Amino acid sequence: MAKANLALVGATGAVGTAMIDIINNRENIWGEIRLIASARSAGKKILVHGEELTVVELTPESFDGMDIAMFDVPDEISEIWAPIAASRGAVAVDNSGAFRMDPEVPLVVPEVNPEQARNRPKGIISNPNCTTLTMMASLGALHRGWTLTELVVSSYQAVSGAGVAGIERLRDEISALAGTNAGEASEDVLKTLEGSGLGIDVSPFSNPVALNVIPFAGSLKAGGFSSEEMKVRDESRKILGIPDLKVAVTCVRVPVLVSHSLAVHATFANPLTVADVHKALGEEPTVRLVDDPAKGLWPTPSLVAGQDPTFVGRVRQSLDFPNSIEMFVVGDNLRKGAALNTYEIAELVASEF
């Protein structure tokens, strides 16, 4: 069989770096691998499968000869360049939000709807938001068995969801607050940070994130909802093929570097038990059960960071809601939440060659 040629756009960013780690730690199924980034990153050397590759500048010609192009760049870059890649003959697998709700672009999670990867009239496949992806493998498995009807989610999202700037900001805040008594009085964290030159005016967040939680992630949308909350609602409906799924979401930013956590309340058309959930999720190769509360065993971001599977624990049958399950799901937002799922979609496409 011929091997597909693979391009990675955004190779030097936070998600791109995670993508290269994934590529290096999986079987090399590719012909040529081409790393693409902005002009300022062009010329950098990166080791991929033992070969030192030179990052090339993003141009239309950079896609020539490529069969698949993975995009790990902001929406406004993908909006322009994913169609260009498709016009040059590459299937564009896009990790941004630019095309997720386009009815002519499939939104794919390989564990849930792999067949949609072939349904790409624009030559583009979209990767879901990292928050949605954290729970999708487990919800997809349960939906197949019991038919999901309602979903209530609260997310606890790592600062890496805001990119490298989010990671750097939390590290800077931790350094500035270390050894102080900040956190005991109203706004003393903010005042301490301002005294260290770390005012909110130079932060990617609206409030201090260290020693704090921020009940908002994303941009403001109609009705007071955030863009992250709307993504979870709309994307869950599209991926699962349930256009009338009832969804309620609250997204929260927490002082964690890597891994999003979700408290999930899911209601199904048919009765199910904790044992049913354990069995179904135990059969999912990309899900790990960590669920022994008596021994203090449950998923946490520090356990999950750097790992490919999503982790599920705290599985309970709701006391007051029929056919409903409560569970806590954690996934590395830079891996399964972004880079890994994008790469797995690319693997699906590569299998066509």
The answer to whether 247 touches 231, Cβ cutoff 8 Å, is no
Burial class (CB in 10 A: 0-12, 13-18, 19+), 281: buried
Q: Which residue has the tokens 């007051």?
A: 320
Tell me 304's DSSP state: H
Stated length of the chain: 353
Count how many Cα atoms sit within 13 Å of the Cα of residue 13 in the half-sphere of its side chain. Answer: 23
Q: CA–CA distance from 119 to each of 13, 103, 105, 166, 194 (Å)?
A: 29, 11, 8, 35, 51
Alpha-carbon distance of 125 to 92, in angstroms, equals 6
Alpha-carbon distance of 215 to 45, in angstroms, equals 40
Q: Residue 18: enclosing H or E segment and its boundaries?
A: helix 14-24
Catalytic residues: 130, 260
Rounded to 10 degrees, the C-alpha dihedral 7/93/44/169 comes to -170
The answer to whether 163 touches 200, Cβ cutoff 8 Å, is no
DSSP 3-state assignment of 37?
strand
The distance in angstroms from the start CA to the end CA of the chain is: 7
